[in-house]
Amino acid sequence: MEWETVIGLEIHAQLTTNSKIFSGSATTFGAEPNTQASLVDLAMPGVLPVLNAEVINCAAKFGLASNSTVAKHSVFARKNYFYPDLPKGYQISQMELPIVHDGYLDIEFEAAGKSDGKLATKRVGITRAHLEEDAGKSLHEDFQGMTGIDLNRAGTPLLEIVSEPEMSSAKEAVAYMKKIHSLVRYLGISDGNMQEGSFRCDANVSVRPVGQKELGTRAEVKNLNSFRFIEKAINHEVERQIDLIEAGGAVVQETRLYDPDKDETRSMRSKEEANDYRYFPDPDLLPVVIDDAFIEAIRAELPELPDAKRARFESEFKLGADDARQLTASREVADYFEAALAAGGEPKQAANWVNVELAGALNKADLSLGESPVTAEMLGGMLKRLADGGLTSKMAKEVFAAMWDGEGSADEVIEKRGLKPTDSSEVEGIIDGIIAANPGQVEQFRSGKEKVFGFFVGQAMKATKGQADPKQVNDLLRAKLKG
Amino acid sequence: MTSHTTVHTRTLAELSAGLAAGDYTSVELTKACLSRIEQHDGEINSFITVTADNALAAAKVADDRRAAGSAGPLTGIPLAHKDIFCTQGVKTSCGSKMLDNFVAPYDATVVSRLQEAGMVTLGKTNLDEFAMGSTNESSFFGAVRNPWNTACVPGGSSGGSAAALAAGFAPAATGTDTGGSIRQPASFCGVTGIKPTYGRVSRWGMIAYASSLDQGGVFAKTAEDCGMLLQAISGFDEKDSTSADEAVPDFNGGLNSDLKGKKIGVPTEFFGEGLDAEVKALIETALKQYEAMGCELVEVSLPHMHLSVPAYYVVAPAEASSNLSRFDGVRYGHRCDNPEDLADLYLRSRAEGFGDEVKRRIMIGAYALSAGYYDAYYLKAQRIRRLIRDDFTKAFESVDAIAGPVAPTTAFKLGAMKGDPVQMYLSDVYTLALNLAGLPGMSVPAGFADGMPVGLQLIGKHFDEAGLLNLAHQYQQKTDWHSKMPAAFA
Amino acid sequence: MLRQGLKLMNQQVAVSGLKIPGVMKMSLTTEKVEQIAYLARLALDAKAVPEYAENLSSILALVEQMDTVNTDNVEPLAHPLELTQRLRADVVTEQDHRDDYQQSAPATEAGLYLVPQVID
């Protein structure tokens, strides 16, 4: 039987606020246990929540950037369940009236069986995005056979972004998640740090025979905190479900945990028992009401978003689609590129350096862009020299390596190392000499043997000890060989 | 030194004047209160914790403050806090075994504001466990007895505060009122009590029972005293999202305003069958007194009032079931011995820590919110809540205030309500509607039936506490019910 | 005492205008009571369950008097004043008071609250 996969994602993005959603505690990652847990976070008797204004700004930004409706009236509700990392015995979330709803994003992905090399596109609906508080952490190291509870994270603001069940492959799911990841970082509302858990995802996965209308029974796969895991986990889960059905079994609606070490999902039955969350509007909080003026003010604050930036890069800098996509995939890279370009470089060259040379060096050194020893200004200085003929592209690689090693700016390296492209009259003289000394090869070339051209280039580079600009050598040789 | 041994008969306003005149010091006043508590509280069990050392130290500070010329009207006056308000460094039990070992790490806003005014905290008063009850019998620390007849209950849930006041242990006490928990014990104990408008007094540090109904307030001998206390605790608090950002007027500024021409609504629903005949007669006498003072009595109707009992017993337990989930034996409070596993920790800690009435309300609330029942119970109750509020809004279009009994009877005998929660719930029929509507209400002593006090309930428009205090004060100028003290404690 | 109780009950039933909740429409089974108790994490003594079932059923019977009024076109009222949520500036105002806050804690180690092993 032919199977079709249906995937919906619930993404939790931790919002980059200074303080928690309902208390004045800091949200810094990695603090000593329970040192960022205030009376409110600890759910001491008698404490009350007060909503952080910034989380409303963050949610509204996301709403506008995802073509969604930003609700003028939203309500916080309590989701009741007992768990030691949930101090109040309920999580403050939003249920019936979320702050953001009914939007969409367009994604691009490599489609299976598509041979023209172009990416496929798809519009994925966003059902809703609601605000809620994060829980604390359970630490399972052995404390006299007990679990330790750290509530520093309790009350950290989250935006839970729920998609429609409209993705039909792990690749689409990853593309969608990357799109959201890029968007929240562009908006500056989340740092998207997946290692620290500030961007994570649960996937609702089901399969159905091709042609069947109704959805199959879904399983919720939790704990997906890397793009690689999400793809593997979904693929694994799809296979598991198909195998199960084909063997005559049935999928059970349940929560499953992805184990990246074993590359498998397993049932979390412990969480399944009698989940009745008894949602109701939190009586300690009042409805959040915002007006058009607020929404317009947020709209005015929005940065240029990835799709718009990419279109601009293509038109303004005449970049190809691939270069533009790569450069705008993250706001940091796009900003780096534009900053480097501002020094006076040539766009295509700049794109190439950022996407290839710099990306390669960072990758090799396992550094993030923010940690690059070569700043955008430094690369810009180098690109400027490249553009004004002060450097050959070969020299540029040397300059880049030197800048990487901390030898200073491009101009400083050039001066220190006495780098200078060979003078063109000098190159001309050398070329004239080579032509004069090799009449046989000249004859062959002129009679149409294009291959001989390489011989002349080789001779010229040898004579200039590799210092000549290959482009200059090429141009001069062509002109002179034509006779 | 001449007069402080009889200070328990004085009003707060009189004590304030006495302190200002130097007739006695706060330390003397405080010692007098502490000694009365020590001698007599064994008879009524109104305190859970007495903080004598703290009180004397605070009294000394108050006296120093007076000497320095920076005393306010409340500086040096002793008071008792209902043990539902968090008090830093002092056990805050909420009448429950669950919090028997809980020392609050912070002060409630009500507590800190009264402290800033220079008041001296004598201790923490007894209450129904987590404020759930109308008799004060559900306290883990034992029932409180009514000073007018120790075979009777003081009412609840703020029974300890009302009884302590009636017994002359303190000239002022705080309380909370979720469904009548200030007004009903004030009525049963013959003291004056006010429950302000929802949002008038911060709920920060007040252990939540039902968040959308809970409101802090005060007990004292007179309306004037209540006004002085209310002045100190009222006003916006940024720590409470439900605190109203509403200007606080001078509550006592209009105490002496003439009542001529004021319209008092008398709801027919408050005087139907079932109201004890003697209580009814006393309330009617009180209403005649208002007529005599120039008020016009206007019949009004609150057609949905009878549904306040069922609506309340959905909304309050629903909110309570969630509010009390934090008591899980993890971060504070009672924890069972040797829990086998996590479920065992929760199940036993909570079962051991909570009493029967609390468990009943938690279960009713959990049920009302559970899948499949939410609309039929919780939403239905919130719809009825709107009908009840709208009834009041309509009534207030034609009257300045509403008056009636606080409770259908005088104080019950201890044990009379045992084993039948519904019977106890029904006794709150005159008080619950105000909480659902968020309105301010008072209980003002209005006489005695069979030797037990009866309170007149006055109900005002939202944020019109000053109007209520004016009505009550004028009544207290013409009557002396509020100055009676039980013989055993006189 | 019993007599006073009965008298009271009759008075209050009459005054409230409600039916006597002795005749119950809705009655909770002991299984349902046990289920709710677990949902609320309350261990109930097996012997006490029937009494809870009885009490809770009579409370529900009282509560169901709500059905005597039609509320189809009435919006639920969650807060008496119908105000809107005020927002707090995004500023860190809290310092570390861990030692103080953990003084009432039943079990802690290395700054952590200890609970029986949590199995995911």
Domain positions in chain C: 1-68
Whether residue B105 and residue C97 make contact (CB cut-off 8 A), yes or no, is yes
CA distance A74 to chain C (A): 10
In a domain, B168, yes or no: yes
In a domain, B27, yes or no: yes
Q: What is the mean pLDDT of residues B186-203?
A: 98
A-contacting residues in C 4-33 (Cβ below 8 Å): none
In this structure, are residues B32 and B7 in contact, taking their beta carbons and an 8 Å threshold?
A: yes
Output the pLDDT for position A425: 73
Output the pLDDT for position B272: 86
Q: Tens place of pLDDT for every residue, chain A, 483 residues?
A: 899 999 999 999 999 999 999 999 999 999 999 999 999 999 999 999 999 999 999 999 999 999 999 999 999 999 999 999 999 999 999 999 999 999 999 999 988 776 677 889 999 999 999 999 999 999 987 777 899 999 999 999 999 999 999 999 999 999 999 999 999 999 999 999 999 999 999 999 999 999 999 999 999 998 788 898 899 999 999 999 999 999 999 999 888 988 888 888 888 865 445 579 999 999 999 999 999 999 999 999 999 999 999 999 999 999 999 999 999 988 899 999 999 999 888 999 999 999 999 999 999 999 999 999 999 999 999 999 988 888 888 889 999 999 999 999 999 999 998 887 777 677 788 888 888 888 888 888 888 888 888 888 888 888 877 777 777 788 888 888 876
Q: Are residues A58 and A206 in the same domain?
A: yes
CA atoms within 13 A on the CB side of B2: 3
Handedness of CA A466, A467, A472, A477 (dihedral sign): negative
C46 touches chain B (CB under 8 A): no
Pairwise CA distance, residues B391 & B380, whole Å: 17
Handedness of CA A280, A285, A286, A291 (dihedral sign): negative
Output the pLDDT for position A467: 73
Instruction: For chain C, give the percent of residues with pLDDT over 70.
Output: 78
Q: Which residues of B are catalytic?
A: 82, 157, 181
In this structure, are residues C66 and B314 in contact, taking their beta carbons and an 8 Å threshold?
A: yes
C30 touches chain B (CB under 8 A): no
In this structure, are residues A156 and A91 in contact, taking their beta carbons and an 8 Å threshold?
A: no
Whether residue C111 and residue A288 make contact (CB cut-off 8 A), yes or no, is no
Cis peptide before B157 (omega within 30 of 0): yes
Tell me which chains share at least 3 CB pairs under 8 Å with chain B: A, C
Structural domain of residue A53, as residue ranges? 3-293
Q: For testing the chain C interface, which of B242, B383, B427 should be mutated: the one with the most C CBs within 10 Å? A: B383
Q: For testing the chain B interface, which of C31, C59, C84, C95 should be mutated: the one with the most B CBs within 10 Å? A: C59
In this structure, are residues A258 and A265 in contact, taking their beta carbons and an 8 Å threshold?
A: yes
Whether residue A87 and residue B326 make contact (CB cut-off 8 A), yes or no, is yes
Q: Which residues pair with B267 in a beta bridge?
A: B300
Whether residue C40 and residue B321 make contact (CB cut-off 8 A), yes or no, is yes
Instruction: For chain B, give the percent of residues with pLDDT over 90.
Output: 96
Output the pLDDT for position A269: 64
Q: Are residues A168 and A25 in the same domain?
A: yes
B207 touches chain A (CB under 8 A): yes
Q: What is the ipTM metric for this complex?
A: 0.97
Pairwise CA distance, residues B359 & B129, whole Å: 11
Pairwise CA distance, residues A156 & A29, whole Å: 10
Structural domain of residue B29, as residue ranges? 4-260+440-489
In this structure, are residues B26 and B55 in contact, taking their beta carbons and an 8 Å threshold?
A: no
**Residue C16 predicted with pLDDT over 80:** no
Residue among A241, A37, A249, A233 at smallest CA distance from A135: A37
Phi, psi (rounded to 5 degrees) for A7? -130, 135
Within 10 angstroms of residue B64's Cβ, the number of other Cβ atoms is: 12
Give me the number of domains chain B comprises. 1
CA distance B166 to chain A (A): 28
Instruction: For chain B, give the percent of residues with pLDDT over 70.
Output: 99
For residue range B227-284, list pLDDT tens digits in order.
999 999 999 999 999 999 999 999 999 999 999 999 999 999 999 888 999 999 999 9
A47 touches chain B (CB under 8 A): yes
User: In the 8-state DSSP scheme, what is residue C61?
Assistant: H
Q: Strand, helix or coil at B253?
A: coil
> Which of B72-86, B178-192, B409-423 has the least mean pLDDT?
B409-423
- Among the candidates A394, A417, A440, a domain finishes at A417
In a domain, A346, yes or no: yes
Q: Which of C10, C66, C104 sits opposite B101 (nearest CB)?
A: C104
- Among the candidates A400, A417, A434, a domain finishes at A417
- The CA-atom distances, in angstroms, between A376 and each of A344, A401, A410 are 12, 15, 12
Output the pLDDT for position A85: 96
Query: H/E/C letters for each residue in chain A?
Result: CCEEEEEEEEEEEECCCCECCCCCCECCCCCCCCCCCCCCCCCCCCCCCCEEHHHHHHHHHHHHHCCCEECCEECEEEEECCCCCCCCCEEEEECCCCCEEEEEEEEEECCCCCCCCCCEEEEEEEEEEEEEECCCEEEEEEECCEEEEECCCCCCEEEEEEECCCECCHHHHHHHHHHHHHHHHHHCCCCCCCCCCCEEEEEEEEEEECCCCCCCCCEEEEEECCHHHHHHHHHHHHHHHHHHHHCCCCCCCEEEEEECCCCEEEECHHHCCCCCCCCEECCCCCCEECCHHHHHHHHHHCCCCHHHHHHHHHHHCCCCHHHHHHHHCCHHHHHHHHHHHHCCCCHHHHHHHHHHHHHHHHHHHCCCHHHCCCCHHHHHHHHHHHHCCCCCHHHHHHHHHHHHCCCCCHHHHHHHHCCCCCCHHHHHHHHHHHHHHCHHHHHHHHCCCCCHHHHHHHHHHHHCCCCCCHHHHHHHHHHHHCC
Whether residue A84 and residue C109 make contact (CB cut-off 8 A), yes or no, is no
At residue B2 the predicted structure's pLDDT band, cuts being 50, 70 and 90, is: very low
Pairwise CA distance, residues A362 & C24, whole Å: 75
Give me the number of domains chain A comprises. 3
Which CATH number do you get for residue B139? Answer: 3.90.1300.10
In a domain, A299, yes or no: no
Output the pLDDT for position B4: 53
Task: Look up tokens 């709710």; give the residue.
Answer: C36
In a domain, B76, yes or no: yes
**Residue B6 predicted with pLDDT over 50:** yes
Pairwise CA distance, residues B366 & B324, whole Å: 11
**Residue B329 predicted with pLDDT over 70:** yes
Q: Are residues A279 and A353 in the same domain?
A: no
**Tokens standing for C1?**
């005492």
* Amino acid occupying residue C62: L
| Contacts with A59 (C-beta within 8 Å, 6 or more apart), sequence order | A70, A99, A100, A129, A130, A131, A159
Q: Are strands B452-460 and B441-449 parallel, antiparallel or unpaired?
A: antiparallel
Whether residue C40 and residue B350 make contact (CB cut-off 8 A), yes or no, is yes
**Residue B32 predicted with pLDDT over 90:** yes
Whether residue A284 and residue B108 make contact (CB cut-off 8 A), yes or no, is no
**Residue B222 predicted with pLDDT over 50:** yes
CA atoms within 13 A on the CB side of C14: 14
Pairwise CA distance, residues B21 & B29, whole Å: 14
